[in-house]
């Protein structure tokens, strides 16, 4: 079943102030199949729930009488100063959610100074996205079996302005997305990936080349014919050499993997793919303290999964993250109001983060230390 393009904006909601408000509005404007594609996880979706519940199980222990008169939320990543520790995680097929697709996303992020991570499976080409971007952005890569194509993608991203390469390492196969299977979901023409189209051949969104694991793919078995399931550490070293860009490994949750990445100078992006691949995989927050100990400040740590409030942001930073990344929430904003909706979701979460810092007695991000977090019960 192919959803129609979404409407440009939701009905007016004068009190849309939280990420949950944007989710409710997105549900109103998106076709049910597109909303399920965005919201769904693997199998019973336990990991999707655990990602959010991990934050709920932690309480904050604020300091008082600190004399703090203001808060500083700036963070520098690979030489780029960001006004906020909140960045945008890669999500595919923005054309499913707004007619202007990733162009609206990067404009909305730039309006707040936020960094965007652009998916291999973007609806627009890397060149189109780079032309629309006035703020910093990174490129998320699925390593292709065709290594020449892989290197071409990285070169194109760098030429278009990407500041880093984020290699997804947790997806040798795609998880069992049961909502999509029940809906008979297939990417429509306004959502198909542009960067993997082959001249004179089928596009990456056609029936012979759809997103890995998407219903409607004609390949047999669990493996996609294009995505290489056998990526190893040497491939990340090779990509760093070929690209000349910083490289991060997205999908790490174990301290031993994090230590190996740090020893190789590879950034650590803690993620379980938003609960969309291996159901019952741990929430990144649960292993963050151990990962932070293993990394020992040698490389940046990015954490995503389940972040819905400013209090979630400060918990992750206090336990060792350098920045946090959000995925579904900014897509809700994109669906509701394009670039302005992306900006609005980021501003809402940033304001909550500022308030949490002030109420914790933490004047800046460096003041967020593990002693500010404890069990909720």
Q: Which residues are catalytic?
A: 273
What Cα–Cα distance (Å) separates residue 345 from each residue in 34, 316, 354?
19, 19, 14
151 vs 366: CA distance, rounded Å: 37
* DSSP β-bridge partners for residue 82: 75
Other beta carbons less than 10 A from residue 38's beta carbon? 23
Residues 335, 341 contacting (CB under 8 angstroms): yes
CB 2 within 8 A of CB 332: no
Q: What angle is formed at CA 267 by the lines to CA 262 and CA 269, rounded to 5 degrees?
A: 115
Beta bridge partners of 168: 250
Burial 301-330 (b: 16+ CB within 10 A, else e): bbbbbbbbbbbbbbbbbbbbbbbbbbbbbb
CA distance 294 to 259: 5
Rounded distance, CA 245 to CA 257, Å? 21
254 Rama class: left (phi>0) / alpha (psi -120 to 50) / beta? beta
Closest to 302 measured CA to CA, from 294, 292, 311:
292
CA distance 171 to 230: 10
Chain position carrying tokens 């080409």: 125
Buried/exposed 147-182: b ≥16 CB within 10 Å, e otherwise: eeebeebbebbbebbbbbbbbbbbbeebbbbbbbee
- Ordered alpha helix ranges (H), 216-283: 233-243, 255-263
């Amino acid at each position: 079943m192919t959803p129609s393009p979404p409407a440009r904006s939701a009905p007016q909601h004068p009190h849309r102030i939280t990420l949950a408000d944007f989710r409710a509005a997105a549900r109103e404007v998106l076709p049910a199949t597109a909303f399920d594609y965005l919201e769904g996880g693997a199998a019973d979706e336990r990991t999707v729930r655990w990602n959010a519940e991990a934050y709920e199980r932690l309480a904050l222990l604020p300091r008082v009488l600190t004399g703090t008169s203001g808060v500083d939320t700036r963070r520098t990543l690979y030489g780029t100063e960001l006004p906020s520790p909140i960045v945008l995680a890669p999500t595919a097929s923005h054309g499913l959610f707004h007619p202007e697709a990733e162009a609206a996303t990067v404009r909305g992020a730039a309006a707040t100074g936020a960094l965007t991570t652009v998916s291999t499976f973007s609806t627009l080409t890397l060149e189109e996205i780079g032309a629309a971007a006035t703020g910093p952005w990174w490129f998320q890569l699925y390593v292709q079996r065709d290594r020449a194509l892989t290197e071409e993608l990285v070169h194109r991203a760098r030429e278009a302005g990407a500041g880093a390469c984020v290699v997804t390492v947790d997806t040798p196969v795609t998880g069992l997305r049961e909502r999509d299977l029940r809906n008979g979901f297939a990417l429509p023409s306004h959502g198909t990936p542009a960067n993997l189209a082959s001249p004179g051949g089928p596009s990456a969104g056609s029936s012979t080349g759809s997103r890995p694991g998407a219903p409607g793919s004609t390949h047999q078995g669990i493996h996609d014919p294009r995505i290489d399931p056998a990526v190893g550490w040497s491939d990340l070293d090779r990509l760093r050499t070929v690209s000349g860009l910083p490289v991060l490994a997205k999908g790490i949750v174990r301290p031993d993997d994090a230590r190996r990445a740090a020893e190789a100078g590879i950034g650590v992006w803690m993620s379980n793919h938003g609960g969309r691949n291996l159901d019952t995989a741990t929430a990144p927050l649960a292993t963050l303290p151990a990962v932070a100990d293993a990394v020992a400040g040698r490389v940046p740590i990015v954490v995503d999964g389940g972040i819905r409030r400013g209090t979630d942001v400060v918990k992750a930073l206090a336990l060792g993250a350098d920045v946090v990344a959000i995925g579904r929430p900014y897509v809700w904003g994109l669906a509701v109001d394009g670039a302005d909706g992306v900006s609005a979701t980021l501003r809402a979460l940033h304001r909550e983060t500022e308030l949490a810092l002030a109420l914790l007695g933490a004047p800046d991000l460096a003041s967020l230390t593990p002693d500010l977090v404890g069990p909720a019960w």
